[in-house]
Structure 1
Amino acid sequence: MLALTDATGRRSVLRLMTNEPWKAHGFALTEREASALQALEDTAVPAPTSLGLDAEGRHAGVAAHLMSRLPGDPSTEVDDVGVTAMATLLAVIHEVKPAKPFRTYESWAWEGKRILPAWTKHPGSWLRAFDVLAEEPPSYEPTFLHRDYSHRNLLWSRGDIAGVVDWVETSTGPAWLDAAHAATNLALAFGPDPACAFLERYAALTGRDLEKYWLVMDAVGFLPPPGREPMFGSATELNRLDNWLHDLLRTA
């Protein structure tokens, strides 16, 4: 991700797909992000504007997407006001009706990941989670999804959300899968309290009944593929994931 300023002073961001595994899928990812930003242009969602697409890498050498640069900065803390803002904005995103549906969501908890982690203190909960995911998923109303919605992909300015970035995984799927991903990320970064508060606010705002299946799917999706280390490496984060999954199954 490169921050650019042209001769007129206009600021932009250039995404270059230089690293694997994203490089191999760069065409689809950058094309999907550009389409998502176009679908969001006339909505209340504070997303960047797509300025140029080089999905085939003819000019940049790799798949590339040029976008406007939004104000704001990432936040390393999320308080109660921030949790409410996150839930409110996700409800707005889920009301978007693109002219053409995006691809159906992909589960990140594929079968090859469903291996009991060596670091767990709750092996029974993980085994139960794997059994849950072996069943057919519940029916759902197809919804426009960010698909990687979390505090990590939000820009904040003076306590408000100024931007939502990273739309390469935009999909159509169950609304609770987006909410689940935001909650898992909050649980890993800050513990269960803000994660649970976020889910409660989202449910209250949308009137949607909480569906634990999607929360379980998202939590299991954080396990690494066989032979790889977790994307997050601290003992604190592993412990929080372990406890989050355990609590989800205990209250199911």
Structure 2
Amino acid sequence: MSDHDEAAAVRPLTLAWVRRHLEVGERIVRTEALHGGITAETRRLTVRRRDGDTRDLVLRTFVDVEHAEDRLNREADALTLLTGTGVPAPGLVAVDPTAARCEYPSLLMTHLAGRTVLDDEGLETRVPLLARQLVAIHALRPAQRPRKYVTLTTADTVVTPKGADAAAWAAAIDVIRRPAPPCEGRFLHRDFQPGNVLFEVPPPGPAGARITGVVDWAATSWGPTDLDVAHCSTNLALLHGPVWGLRFAEAYEEAGGVPAAATSERLYWRVRSGLAFAEEVTSVSQPWREAGRTELTTRTVEERLDAYVTALMDTLG
């Protein structure tokens, strides 16, 4: 495919906007769709420099996404904040949150090395790395706090999976009928999970894995650390089995993370996260199957979610 054909994969107005943010003599020679996300179209753009070398950028475009302006502004602010902090995040190149110059709200950023790893192999190594990375994110103290966290799931909107443990789910739903526990807020990613973490896994195998990047900062918030812990725990439980959801919470504390002191408060956030996933099992599991985890059917993920919620009630309830 020619350079022109590759570049044309980006919408015309957006392509012109991107070109305005390239260095003199640079041109886009290749585009590649990056899969795995739910809300945004994401492309890697290969840019050839005047000296013949290349570099990569990443373009995120929100097509008919609710609150796109807010999400992109939050991501741009987060990427600016994270510069120089040691947290491996992309660098902001440009943002058009209102689609003033693009067809749709868009953000252009630097490309990070590494890839997402969703396989079971090497999980024993990756979970502590994920935990340590999340502790580092929660340690950030920005001069200006992002907006307060939002949770949308209520006791009345929970969708109990078919065949689930009715008693356990009823008890779990009762847990989130209570008011949210008070907390000392921290800087939150709000979608920290394996799909948003890049790893480099050099030979000879998983034991040498290291994190090279954390992406998708569009939901950055201020709130309890337990929210991020609970979200990642639920993702791990559905991807790899309930025991890994429980293990991640332990790894977070072992890495120096500080969750809520009271068991009842930890239960509240972890159950709330699990119940929230019940409303979106299909949308969550589809990208995993596209990434190669074809065995994670909607039914399989529902069964794992049921087992995880039941395990939470058994261990913390």
TM-score, structure 2 as length reference? 0.74
The match for 2:230 is 180
Deviation at 1:112, TM superposition (A): 4.6
Paired residue for 1:222, among 265, 277, 281? Answer: 277
Q: Distance in 2 between matches of 1:162 and 1:36?
A: 17
- CA distance in 2 between counterparts of 1:229 and 1:73 reads 23
Separation in 1, partners of 2:314, 2:152: 22
The corresponding residue for 1:121 is 164
Equivalent in 40, 45, 49 of residue 4 of structure 1: 45
Q: 1:188 to 1:108 in 2, by over 3 A?
A: farther
Query: What do the CA deviations read for 1:185-223 (whole angstroms, capped 9, x no partner)?
Result: 000000023222211111122253461111011001112
SS at 1:10 equivalent: strand
Aligned counterparts of 2:155 and 2:67: Cα–Cα separation in 1: 21
TM-fit CA distance, 1:2: 1.0
1:179/1:199 contact within 8 Å kept: yes
Give the 3-state SS of the residue equivalent to 1:169 in structure 2: coil
- Corresponding position: 1:243 with 2:307: yes
Counterpart amino acid of residue 7 in structure 1: R
Provide the C-alpha distance between the structure 2 equivalents of 1:204 and 1:212, rounded to a whole number of angstroms.
18
Following the alignment from structure 1 to structure 2, what is the Cα–Cα distance between the partners of residues 188 and 116? Answer: 15
Post-superposition Cα deviations, 1:42-63, rounded to whole Å, max 9, x if no partner, equal 2111000111000011111111
Deviation, structure 1 residue 183: 0.6
- Conserved in 2, the CA contact under 8 Å of 1:222 and 1:230? no
Q: State how far apart, in whole Å, the 2-side matches of 1:244 and 1:13 are.
A: 35
Structure 2 counterparts to residues 1-252 of structure 1, below 5 A:
1-8=42-49, 9-18=54-63, 20=64, 23-77=65-119, 78-117=122-161, 119-158=162-201, 159-206=209-256, 208=258, 209=261, 211-224=266-279, 231-232=284-285, 233-251=297-315, 252=317
Q: Distance in 1 between matches of 2:135 and 2:191?
A: 14
CA distance in 2, matches of 1:230, 1:66: 25
Structure 1 unmatched runs, 5+: none
Local SS of the residue matching 2:104? coil
Measured on the aligned residues, the alpha-carbon RMSD in Å equals: 1.7
State the Cα deviation string for residues 67-99 of structure 1 (Å, max 9, x = none): 100000110225111100000000000001111
Deviation at 1:121, TM superposition (A): 2.5
Q: Tell me by how many angstroms 1:129 deviates.
A: 1.5
CA contact under 8 A between 2:278 and 2:302: conserved in structure 1?
Answer: no
Deviation at 1:120, TM superposition (A): 3.4
Contact 1:50 1:68 in 2 (8 A): yes
**Alpha-carbon offset, residue 138 of structure 1:** 1.1
% identity of equivalent residues = 33
TM-score of the aligned structures, taking structure 1 as reference length:
0.92
Choose 151-160 or 229-238, whichever is displaced more.
Answer: 229-238
Which one is further off, 136-145 or 6-15?
6-15
* Contact residue 26 and residue 62 of structure 1 kept, 8 A: no
Report 1 or 2 for greater relative contact order, CA contacts < 8 Å, sequence distance ≥ 6.
1
Matched to 2:77, the amino acid is: S
Report Cα offsets for 1:4-50 as digits up to 9, x if no partner: 122322211000001x4xx2311111110010111111211100011
Q: Does structure 2 conserve the Cα–Cα contact (< 8 Å) formed by 1:154 and 1:163?
A: yes
